[in-house]
Amino acid sequence: MTDHSSTPSTDGGLTAVLLAAGQGSRMRSERPKPLHRLCGRPMLAYVLDSLSTVGVTSAVIVVGHKGEWVTKKMQEHLGDVPFDFVEQQVQRGTGDATMVGLVGLPEDDEGDVLVLPGDTPLLRAATIEALVDRHRASGAQPLC
């Protein structure tokens, strides 16, 4: 069980969109970039784990290039944050992947949404928490 005692306030909740659709051609590998391993675990698993202590209630993982491989591997991940997958059928960049990911969120969700790349295994929960705290303290209004 995760201790959420230091979790930022979640007035409307907090969800996440994880971008894991890219090809990762600079890695010169057949393996999709978010599945490259560090210490025996896919990079995407580290990102999911960092979300569990900051109050994220659910996540959507955007897959594309070799999406079935990413989906199959990540279904083995046993973490605290439930997640679903959405497919970016044509890779049109980060902005398009984000829009595809937002479609996978519940329609009645009016909380904050984190959009994070799935290939950032060194992104610490404390950094995410500070980002969310700063955003909420700023009084920023939703765009729609």
User: pLDDT at position 1, please?
Assistant: 28
Structural tokens at position 123: 């992104």
Write the CATH number for 53: 3.90.550.10
Q: Is residue 119 part of a domain?
A: yes
Contacts of residues 4-7 at CB distance under 8 Å and 24 or more positions apart, as own/partner, are: 4/53, 4/55, 6/53, 6/129, 7/53, 7/54, 7/55, 7/129
pLDDT in tens, 60-99: 999 988 888 899 989 988 888 999 999 998 888 899 999 9
Q: Is residue 8 part of a domain?
A: no
User: pLDDT at position 23, please?
Assistant: 66
Q: Is residue 144 part of a domain?
A: no
Whether residue 134 is predicted with pLDDT greater than 80 in this model: the reply is: yes
Q: Is residue 143 part of a domain?
A: no
| Polymer length in residues for the chain | 144
Q: Is residue 64 part of a domain?
A: yes
- Dihedral, CA of residue 130, residue 136, residue 138 and residue 139, to nearest 10: 180
Whether residue 125 is predicted with pLDDT greater than 90 in this model: the reply is: yes
Backbone phi, psi, residue 86, to 5°: -130, 150
Q: Is residue 3 part of a domain?
A: no
Q: Is residue 130 part of a domain?
A: yes
| pTM passes above 0.75 | yes
The whole domain housing 44 covers 17-137
pLDDT in tens, 31-41: 778 887 889 99
Q: Which candidate, 110, 69, 137, places its Cα nearest to that of 102?
A: 110
Domain count, the chain: 1
Coil/strand/helix, residue 7? coil
Q: Is residue 11 part of a domain?
A: no
